[in-house]
Each structure stands twice: as C-alpha cells, then as structure tokens.
Chains A and B, each alone.
Chain A
C-alpha cells in the first residue's frame, strides 16, 4: 500500500509538469510578456522603458524556455519557464502582478472558503443520501416518481437563481441574515448560514438523483434477494446491506472533491462577499492578474491529484477485497 501511494505520487509529477507546460504555453507563448505589460500599464502611450521595467520587476525579461546566452545548466534554468515552474513545485507562488505575496493570501483566504465548502459538502452528502434512500425505499410508487420529477426540475434551475432568489427572499424580504459579508470567529456564523443552505439546496437535484440510481442498481443484486429471503425487513436490507455496498460508487464521486473544497466556490463566494479563494480567483480574473490565476491553476491540479489518490485509498478502507498493488 505504501509502495502504491509512493508510485502514485511519483506518477503525479509528470502530470504536474504537463499542467505547468500547458499553463505556461497559455500565458507566455500565446501572449508575450510585452502584451501583458501593455495590458497592465494601459494600451496607449507606454514607453518601451516602462515595459522593460515592468517585465524586469516581475522576472519576465528572460528568454521563455531556452537561454542561448547562458552557459551550461543555466541555459535551461535561467528562463521564465524554469523559474516560474520550480517555484510552483516548492509551493512558492511568488508575488502577484500587483506585488502581493500569493502564498500568504492563499493561506489566509483558505479558511473562509473551507468554512462554507465543508458544511455544504457534509450536509449536502447527508441530505442527498437520505433523499435517495427515501426514493429507493418507496421505489416505483408515486412518492418515488414525484421525487424524481422534483429532482429533474431542481437540476434544471440555474445555480445563479438559487443564489439570487435566496438572497432576495431570506435577506431582503425576511431580514433573517445579512445579504453578504464575512467576519472573523463566531460572528462569521450568521454570514455562513445562507450560502451553506443555498449550496446544499442547489446540489440536491443532481445529487439525490445520482445516488438513487446507485441504490436502485444495488437493490437489483442477488445479495439483496438473499437478505429478503432470510426475512429481513426492507428497512434493514436498505440500511445494513444496500447502503454499505453503495458506498463504493458514492465514494468515487465524493472523495475526489474533498481536497478541492479548499478552492472554495467561485460563484457563491463572490455573490456573498466571502473573502475566500473562490472570490480571490474571480478578482484575479477580472483584474487580469496572471500570476494569481497561474498559481490557482497549479494548486487546483495538485488538489485534484490528491483527491484521486485519496479515492483509491478510501476504496481499500470500504471494500477489503480491493488491494492496491
């Protein structure tokens, strides 16, 4: 098992290099640093000196991938690609184009993101599974049918509608929670409730429907028939047999997103004014701050790969038949 994990982590390195190459191609080859400098300094009336200064301050004045003027190993290392990528691998994200320390920003903004994303994930998972079990219990009745119809309808509503509608109803009409904002410590609770509730509601449609399919697939298996033949009640079949066996497909979808919770939610964070990583990214996109977007892309890929490894490990915990070799 340890060997397997080590191998998986080693396997992640070429993927991360690939991610870096790709973002590098996107950010530096398609758009030369000169273009970026012009965008940041304003398109008109920019002197070449100003551009050179801007590039030098941010380390963009080196050759892209191959430094012909340097000697030996420096031919590779004294380039933009090498300097920017190696830093990433050490999780040293450098400074944003505005001059702020990205690593520090990420560290402080991670917690508000988690404060929203973690409850949404946990509560959402519990509620979705409960609804799906209910529908599976009453399968092929009107309760099941109307549940599915409700799920499809809820899936078809834009996520933006839940947010805007929820803000309007709860905050503006009923004055139950503030419309947006964030506070430190326990004061944060009143700001967190609404985004969490809306996040959970927005996910019920697709989640409950997906888990229902999984449960129904399991209820068709032989072991379920055996359990019923033994005289077990439908409820205990569902809870002690089907639920356990359905954990594998459920874990596939759920565990992979756990590390990504750090990234927060782009949309709801910016609607609710929560200073997390999601709104950080959106602000960076709107301000065209390439350094931050690049750092977030790298961080996202790392977390995704961690999620994949965690999924594999969780399989062995849930199903002893699976051995990681």
Chain B
C-alpha cells in the first residue's frame, strides 16, 4: 500500500456533516418555499462576501481532514510494511515545502537571519557571534541586504500577474456564463456585473474572490522563498501553523453544535409538545446544567479526561488519535454547556406552534404524536436551529483560544490559534518582541470570525420571521 488511511473521529463527523449539507441542498433545491430565504441571503452583498470567505476556510479545513500515514522504508524483502507514526493530511501534501522547511528557532517575517545570535565558524577557522542565515528563508539570495528589497518587489509583481490573469479569466468566464444564461450579449453581461444591476451582487462576489486569489497567489510565490509570517520557537513556519489551525477552529465551531443538536431538538420539542411532567423534568435538567458556570464545567471535564487519558495511554496508537479524541470531547463538553440555550428556544417555539390550527387539525384527524412532531413541528422550528448554529459558530471559535490559554482547550500537540497565542504569550517580554505568531493567529481568527458574524447576521435576517 502507498499509504494507510487514518480515520479520525472528527474527520468522520465532518464528512457526515458535509453529506447532510449536500442532502439539505438537494432537498432545498426542489422546494421553492425553502429556497426563498437562501435567495434573500444571496442577494445581500455582505452575505455573499462573507459566504465566499467562509467557503475558502472550509475548503482548507476539508482538505485537512483527509488523513493518512505514509509507509516507512522497508527493512528488507518481504518484510511487513510499517507506517510512519506521523499522521498527515492531503492539505499537508498540497503545501509540501511549507511543512518541511523547518528552521532552528524564531525568525521574523521575511527574515533571512535567525532571531537569536549563534557562534558561527568562518571558513578561515575564526569564530564570530552573529545572526546565522536561515536554511530556507531567503536562501537564494547571495547578499540579502542589497538584493532583498528588489527580490521582494519582483516576487510580488510575479504573484500580482498570476492573480491578475486568474481574476481576468474568472471574470470573462462569469460574463460568458451569465450572457448564455440570460440570453444577452457578453458585453451587456459585463455592464450588468460592473454596475451591479442584477439581483445577485456579482461585483461583490468577484471582488471578494479576486482578493482571495490575490492573497493566495502572493502567499504561494512568497512562501516558496520566505517565511511570510516568520517561524515559531521550534522553527516551524507560522503561516503553515495558522493554516493548519483553520481545521481546529472549524471543528470546534461546527461539531460542538452538531454533537448536541439531536438532544437539544428531541428534548426541546418534547418539553414543548408534551408539557406536564416531561416539561418539568427537561426544564429541571437544563436549568441545572446552565447554572454551572460554563468555563468551570469545561475545565472540570477536561481535567478529568486528561487524568483518564494518562491512566489509559495504551488506547491510542498515535498522538493524532489522542489529540483528536480530546478535540471531540471538548466539542461534546462545549456542546453540553451551550445546548441549554437552544433547548430553551425550541421549547418556547414548540409551545407556540403546537397551538396552531394545522396541529389541531392533525390531532383531530387522529395523527399520532410522532408523526405530528416529525411532519408538522420539526419543519416549523428548523429556522431556530439554523440561526443558532450560525450564531454560535463565531463565539465558539473565540472560546477555543481562551480555553487553550487556560489550559483546558485542545491538546497541546494540535495546531490551533489558541495554542499559538499561548505559546507566543511567553515571549512577549523578549527584546525585540516576538510578535508574529500572535499577530498571525489574531488576524486569521479575526477574518474567520468577522465573516462568520456577517454571515450569521444575514442568515438571521433571511430566516427569522420576526425580523421581516
């Protein structure tokens, strides 16, 4: 075998989520009344722009969720193939050199020298203390001081040209496609795009994609030669770490709500529909859970998991499997703390819906409880589920960083923005300051959370019947 696939728990859940999203899209496409709010969403400029950025993040996360292990060199003929303990993802292969170009320790963005001084042996046998050159960052330059500015300009130009051609091609393709679809000439289609005369804001769409392409091209051409966000303490490329952290952030943001969704739906609807003692029991459960301060419950649960893992180390064959289980557990426990809010909302909405005429009609016709819930109540409370999934997402991404700082977040071996911030915090006092991994983590988080916030605003506007 060329590789040994590794199925991590969170990977499988993510794929399950993608399959259900695909199923949902297929279902929505056939039903006009379900399609309506999405149309409204796609007509707003901030909705389109944030959706594009979110999709770019999701793409990175999805490629980063196909894991495998490469075989080690064979020991002899016929010997069993052994696989490396290092778990890689498809994304690691795509960004190959970024992962492998490891320096010795810190180096600033675009630096050609290490952050710390070392004793270097000159060819003549003399020893000096100076900043040594980096192994990979700017290694192609002979005289960095003189050549670097020119090299950066040339490389930026190169990236810009690539981006220009890609964007141009994309615009032409869009204009041709629109022209065919609307039965107008390509010139008219171009004018329509440029002046934003269509229902769908094509201009915003193109600008956002264009900016993403520009950033992507620049990052590609530069990271082949430099460490664009510098390197961290063990010399890993910070840009690579930030990209890898996207998966962690997305997992925390989506799986958390997903894991607890069945419980929240079932209990919330049951409490609202059956009322009486069922309602009392369920209300008691969620009041108890929500009266425990969230961070403390998470801290307690994660501490306990850690003790359990320390005592049962034989259960995990790779570090990644161990880190993955901790991530999943963190999602579950975060879900337990945030589940109560959704449950309360669903209960309230069900209480309202169950008094409506169509439910009374269904009851009068002798439809069973289960069918009433599944056919009549569930579709009428789904907008609440969707809104709360999107609303919770950004808060959860931010919470990950805080929890990792407290020491009850994801596994320290897992790349995440929280771990990056936590690691960089200890170097704040150094002179000159090591600021790049902090800044990279904050910038990536900011972009993801900002687009998630804008998107969730639009989702709420489109789906909440009260807002209309």
Contact = CB atoms under 8 A, between A and B. Distances in A.
Given A35-B311, A155-B453, A160-B401, A22 B296 contact: no
A163 to B, nearest CB: 10
Most chain A CB atoms below 10 A, which of B287, B301, B310: B287
B207 to A, nearest CB: 17
A15 to B, nearest CB: 5
Contacts of A19: 288, 291-292
Nearest to A152: B453
Interface residues of B, number: 43
Interface string A281-316: 110011010100110110011001100000000000
Interface in B394-417: 394, 398, 401-402, 405-408, 417
A164 B425 contact: yes
Contacts of B288: 15, 18-19, 22
Interface string B260-304: 000000000000000000000000110111111101110111011
A36 interface: yes
Nearest to B422: A160
Contact of B450 (A43, A153, A267, A301): A153
Contact of B300 (A270, A282, A297): A297
Contacts of A294: 300
B381 interface: no
A161 interface: yes
Given A160-B402, A300-B292, A26 B428 contact: no
B246 interface: no
Interface stretch (B103-111, B227-235, B358-366, B438-446): B438-446
Nearest to A278: B295
Contacts of A157: 442, 446, 449
B303 A288 contact: yes
A263 B406 contact: no
Interface in B290-325: 290-293, 295-297, 299-301, 303-304, 307-308, 310-311
Nearest to B303: A288
B48 interface: no
B290 to A, nearest CB: 8
Interface in A1-54: 14-15, 18-19, 22-23, 26-27, 30-31, 35-36, 38-39, 43
Interface in B417-468: 417, 421, 425, 428, 433, 438, 442, 445-446, 449-450, 453-454, 457
A159 interface: yes
A23 B291 contact: no
A36 B310 CA distance: 11
A23 B293 CA distance: 12
B296 A14 contact: no
A156 interface: yes
Contacts of A204: none
Contacts of A18: 284-285, 288
Q: Is the interface of A mostly helix, strand, loop or mixed?
A: helix
Contacts of B402: 158-160, 267
Contacts of A285: 299, 303, 406-408
A161 B402 CA distance: 10
A297 B297 contact: yes
A30 B292 contact: no
Nearest to B448: A156
A318 B152 CA distance: 64
Nearest to B457: A152
B394 A300 contact: no
Contacts of A260: 293
A197 interface: no
A71 B284 CA distance: 33
Given A301-B291, A301-B293, A304-B291, A26 B446 contact: no
A301 B304 contact: no
Interface in A142-159: 152-153, 155-159
Interface string A90-126: 0000000000000000000000000000000000000
Interface of B: 284-285, 287-293, 295-297, 299-301, 303-304, 307-308, 310-311, 394, 398, 401-402, 405-408, 417, 421, 425, 428, 433, 438, 442, 445-446, 449-450, 453-454, 457
26 contacts: A15-B288, A22-B288, A26-B304, A35-B311, A38-B311, A43-B310, A156-B394, A156-B450, A158-B398, A158-B402, A159-B402, A160-B405, A164-B425, A167-B428, A168-B428, A267-B402, A270-B406, A285-B299, A285-B303, A286-B407, A288-B303, A288-B307, A293-B299, A296-B296, A301-B293, A304-B290
The 8 closest A-B pairs by CB, nearest first: A300-B293, A18-B288, A156-B450, A156-B449, A301-B291, A304-B291, A285-B299, A297-B296
Given A15-B288, A19-B288, A156-B450, 19 more contacts: A15-B287, A22-B292, A27-B304, A30-B308, A36-B307, A156-B394, A156-B453, A157-B446, A157-B449, A158-B398, A158-B421, A158-B442, A158-B445, A164-B425, A266-B295, A290-B303, A293-B303, A300-B292, A304-B290
